[in-house]
Amino acid sequence: MLGKAAERILAGTSDLALVVGAECLATRKRMKKRGVSVAWSHPSLERGRVPFEDSLHPSELAHEVFQAYLTFAMFDVARRAHLKISPEENLRQAGELFASMTKVAAGNPNAWFRRERSADELIDICEANRLIAHPYPKNLVAIMDVDMASGLLIASHEKAEALGVPRDRRVYLRGWCEAKDPLYVAERNELWRSVAMKETSHAAMSAAGVGIDEIAYLDLYSCFPSSVNFARDALGLGASDPRPLTVTGGLPYHGGPGSAYLGHSIATLVDRLREDPRAFGMASGVGMHMTNHSYAVYCAEPGPVASPVHGAVQARIDAVGRRKIRAEATGSAEVAAYSVVHGREGPRFAVAVCDLPGGDRCYARSESMDLMGEMVSREFVGEGVELTDGGNGVNRIIG
């Protein structure tokens, strides 16, 4: 929304915009548990459903591939297999990466969980930190049950002058871009990376006239470790890079209001840039199942700015092509990505994206305890499996 507001200002159709977002899921959840009806000061006149921006593939619905914790976990598994990182080392790296975010959250007065944690605390499985979807335990996933609000005011330079906004309080949007990867998970040629992340991030930095080495402050969207690692890969950020990857503390620890986390990351980034006016900062956003991507570069010093060429960026992404998804598949297949969804009592079901002979893809699932145990105990990407018709649009893994 901030980018769209900026484009309207550049086009001369607006000179001032306010982007706000608020979430009160924590209060709603507490009240629901207590059986209390909240007397909202401004009750809704109508109760309507807000549809998702994008639809789900019928085969994703049939296989229950619609929860973010599942799809982002599948991407994580695909990446570790591609990079030949063992499951144990991959989880250790995720714990260390997110432990660094808890340190930032501990120093952020606006964070929901202001406590620094060790990597072991984040990844060791116990009753309080159960597996959600392999390889992610609870402490590595975003927390949406928060009460948070943010607001961003964006204006033309002339409007800021007219309003008397002090020069040392202004931070300029210097470059931005947004684009999409293929909508459905199994469509993506390479499940271990995001082409859209690379294209949008580089387009935003190019518009601002800077490279990644000149970005002093980062806030990479951190709903799950895979979203951060995909962004690091796209930006060329190695494990030894000393720059923190968040200014807020990240979605699992700062808190991840579903309505407007980016409002908090941008507002916090603005504070950093006011204190360090010659520096550049960049914030990223991720939507749906690692599908929608946005990057924006900010600086307290003004500079040339132009509307991004979204169409050209999207065309380069689309040129990579996509796989065809087959709703029904039987016979031999090879696992390209997978996860095992857990409940409080243990494993519930496994879901895999499978490569089929000829290049098509399909989804498949299993409730076999033996198979699920094998999937979580070792790398299963690249394994050959046999599929059969499980009924109701489900492809069943039988061996």
Mean pLDDT of the chain: 95
Is the separation of the CB atoms in 353 and 73 below 8 Å?
Answer: no
pLDDT higher than 60, residue 51: no
**pLDDT tens digits, 232-270:** 999 999 999 999 999 999 999 999 887 789 999 999 999
Return the pLDDT at 46.
65
Return the pLDDT at 256.
87
Return the pLDDT at 45.
61
| pLDDT tier for residue 54 given thresholds of 50, 70 and 90 | low
Return the pLDDT at 40.
74
What is the C-alpha radius of gyration for the chain, rounded to an integer number of angstroms? 22
Percent of the chain predicted with pLDDT > 70:
97
pLDDT higher than 70, residue 52: no
Instruction: Report residue 49: phi and psi, to 5°.
Output: -100, 135
Return the pLDDT at 295.
98
Percent of the chain predicted with pLDDT > 90:
90
Return the CATH fold of 1-35+86-322: Peroxisomal Thiolase; Chain A, domain 1 (3.40.47)
The whole-angstrom separation of Cα 344 and Cα 365 is 20
The whole-angstrom separation of Cα 351 and Cα 395 is 10
| pLDDT tier for residue 47 given thresholds of 50, 70 and 90 | low
Return the pLDDT at 38.
74
Question: Residue 315 contacts by C-beta under 8 Å, 6 or more apart in sequence?
Answer: none
Is the separation of the CB atoms in 350 and 332 below 8 Å?
Answer: no
Pick the CATH number of 331-397 from 3.90.1200.10, 3.40.50.1980, 2.40.50.840, 3.40.640.10: 2.40.50.840
Is the separation of the CB atoms in 245 and 100 below 8 Å?
Answer: yes
Instruction: Report residue 354: phi and psi, to 5°.
Output: -115, 140
pLDDT higher than 80, residue 17: yes
Return the pLDDT at 48.
59
**pLDDT tens digits, 130-160:** 999 999 999 999 999 999 999 999 999 999 9
pLDDT higher than 60, residue 53: no
Please report, for residues 16, 188, 270, 304, the alpha-carbon distance to residue 255 in angstroms, rounded to integers and kept in the order given. Answer: 29, 29, 18, 34
Return the pLDDT at 49.
57
**pLDDT tens digits, 74-130:** 999 999 999 999 999 999 999 999 999 999 999 999 999 999 999 999 999 999 999
| pLDDT tier for residue 399 given thresholds of 50, 70 and 90 | confident
Q: Which residue has the tokens 């998804």?
A: 325
Between these two residues, 228 and 33, which has the higher pLDDT value? 228
CA terminus-to-terminus distance, the chain: 47
pLDDT higher than 80, residue 300: yes
Across the range 372-395, mean pLDDT stands at 98
Instruction: Report domain extents, the chain.
Output: 1-35+86-322, 331-397
